[in-house]
Chain A
Amino acid sequence: MSHDDTLVADAIRVAAAQVRAPERLRVQLAAQQRARRTRQRRTAGALAATLATALAAVLALAHPAGDPGSPSIADAAAIALRAPTLPAPARDARVPELLRASAGGVRFPDYAYGRLGWRADGLGRVRRGGREVVVVSYARGGGARAGYAIVAGPALRVAAGAPRVVRHGVQFAVLRDAGATIVTWRRSGRTCVLASRDASAATLLRLAAWRADDGSHGPY
């Protein structure tokens, strides 16, 4: 930078440095900043309210109001995912796609049948809200687990907003609760709940809707 350049630059800097923003501009900018903070708080509040509403809606799908004291679908799923307390039921030698375990006459399937690949590894029986809930636990290679619960008594209510699919003439509802994927449907008036924290909804639907190739039996 030449000497002249330096002189001019210094003169401009000196002149510019003496100029200060007027007070009214500072006041207006402070108002803009306050307005931004207010907008931010409102946005955060609205977002929180939206999330709370969405969460409530999701929970309502899995926990719809039913008969007082009766378990919800989510309760049944939680029971289905507990560690089994009894040995696994054996396969029915006469009907190999079924196990020798039932709840109110409704038999449990053997998901190890064919190429399904899920082996029954335990059984559980509990009472909840005056109803018996029978559970068969299944495991697949790699550590994935699933539980199949059949709830005695009148069918449990499924929230109207839950996604539903129909396979082989049976309607299945798909829910999410507490990190678990849940598929529920009815067999002979009983509520069946298949739940897993490891398997996808598609896998659970494939199991729940399984039936023999010739269509002679299933889904179970």
Chain B
Amino acid sequence: MAHRPLDPDALGDHVDRLYRAAWALCGRREDAEDLVQDTYARVLAKPRLLRSEDDLAYLLRALRNTHVSRVRAAARRPAERPLDEREAADPREAADPAVVLVARELFAVIAALPAGQRDVLVAVDVAGLSYREAGRALRVKEATVTTRLHRARRAVVEQLREPVLQRAGA
């Protein structure tokens, strides 16, 4: 199977989608920034060869693996007081408060899903991969992606308050 090197200079093209995926994986905006940074640091540490997948699918898998490592490492450390979202907000950031509100609620619900459902929802609905790409990135069959995605969406509807989905356009 042909391999091609990952272009480190093109990684910036994916930062928005990776940030969304990171936020949905860990449920907190500040953790998402750290997670994306850690992921990029890992990926940039040495040259990477990709097989059939595209850059985003590769980065998403790296993001998820980094997230899993961070969660495990955090479980071994004493608990820390979570930083207040308002304290941590970047004053230079001019995000629409309504957008932030919806995203915060939505991503918190997604982050609380069972890992298998959460990962496919993040890959397909948040990061925008196709079912096939998501299957490759997560090392599961396409049929598994379909099943988990259906369950994940239903769980999101059940857990999310109706107004949030309405504000988001559903």
Question: Which residues of A are in contact with B by a Cβ distance under 8 Å?
Answer: 1-2, 4-5, 7-16, 18-26, 28-30, 32-33, 35-36
Contacts and interface: CB of A to CB of B under 8 A. Distances in A.
Contacts of B37: 25, 28-29, 32
Of A11, A35, A36, most B-chain CB atoms within 10 Å: A11
A23 B170 contact: no
Contacts of B90: 22-24
Given A13-B125, A19-B99, A23-B90, A29 B169 contact: no
10 contacts: A8-B156, A8-B165, A12-B153, A16-B126, A21-B19, A24-B33, A29-B11, A29-B37, A32-B37, A33-B44
- What's the dominant secondary structure at chain B's contact region? helix
Interface in B1-51: 8-9, 11-12, 15-16, 18-20, 23-24, 33, 36-37, 40-41, 44
A21 B66 CA distance: 18
Contacts of A7: 170
Given A8-B157, A33-B11, 12 more contacts: A4-B153, A8-B153, A12-B106, A15-B106, A18-B99, A19-B95, A25-B33, A25-B37, A29-B12, A29-B15, A32-B41, A33-B44
B140 interface: no
B119 to A, nearest CB: 14
B103 A5 contact: no
A41 B165 CA distance: 49
Interface SS, A side: helix
A133 to B, nearest CB: 50
A19 B104 CA distance: 10
A4 B157 contact: yes
Contacts of B125: 9, 12-13, 16
Contacts of A30: 12
B95 A12 contact: no
A11 B106 CA distance: 10
A23 to B, nearest CB: 6
A5 B150 contact: yes
A23 B92 contact: yes
B102 interface: yes
A19 B106 CA distance: 12
B16 A20 contact: yes
Given A8-B156, A29-B12, A36-B8, A22 B33 contact: yes
A14 B15 contact: no
Q: Among A15, A18, A23, find the residue whose CB has the most chain B CB atoms closer than 10 A.
A: A15
Which 8 residue pairs spanning A and B have beta carbons closest together? A11-B170, A21-B19, A15-B168, A12-B125, A8-B153, A11-B168, A14-B169, A18-B99
Given A5-B153, A16-B125, A10 B170 contact: yes
